[in-house]
Amino acid sequence: MQQDYKYGDLTHRIIGCSMEVHRVLGNGFQEVIYQRALAYELEQQTIGFAREVDMPIFYKSMLMGTRRADFLIEEKVMVELKAIIKLEEVHLAQAINYLEAYNLEIGLLINFGASSLEFKRVLNPHFRRFHRK
């Protein structure tokens, strides 16, 4: 039984593009190569995205700096890429922290470095709709 997730169709399409990139390239390249290839696949699938988006990081309403999101898809889904042997809990925590800092609800953590593509859907437990511009 397939579950319905918020932006499920969109995240499914993003994962499909990622699988195609991993199928063609395999593992073993630097993250930037996968980022460029995924950008190409997203364009081919007419999925709107921005790459390496500077996102503000706030602490108690004070701007602390910015952090670049690998992808912001259709202004709804953050995608964080990795090219490492194995995803660990620290990477998942990092992705959730980014969602919270950006005040986005849904994200994907995608790892191209393993022999099989790894991906995790991440949710912001503190998402506040009214703060997003």
Scored b (16 or more CB within 10 A) or e, 79-110 reads bbbbbeeebeeebeeebbebbebbbbbbbbbb
Instruction: Answer yes or no: is pLDDT of 95 > 60.
Output: yes
Instruction: Classify residue 129: in a domain, yes or no.
Output: no
Q: What is the reported pTM? A: 0.87
**Does residue 133 register a pLDDT over 50?**
no
The answer to the question of residue 89 being in a domain is: yes
The pLDDT assigned to 3 comes to 57
Q: How confident is the model at residue 101 (pLDDT cuts 50, 70, 90)?
A: confident
Instruction: Report the percentage of the chain scoring pLDDT > 90.
Output: 68
Query: Number of folded domains in the chain?
Result: 1
pLDDT one-digit tens code per residue, 18-74 = 999 999 999 999 999 999 999 999 999 999 999 998 888 878 888 889 888 899 999
Tell me whether residue 30 is in a domain. yes
pLDDT in tens, 102-131: 889 999 999 999 999 999 999 998 887 654
Res 59: pLDDT: 82
63: CATH: 3.90.320.10
Distances from the Cα of 128 to the Cα of 8, 105, 108, 133, angstroms: 20, 8, 19, 11
Q: What's the pLDDT score for residue 130?
A: 53
Is 109 a domain residue? yes
Q: Residue 83 sits in which domain range?
A: 8-124
Residue 120, domain member (yes or no): yes
Q: Is residue 127 within 8 Å of 103, Cβ to Cβ? A: yes
Kindly report the average pLDDT of the chain as a whole number: 91
Task: Please check whether residue 133 lies inside any domain of the structure.
Answer: no
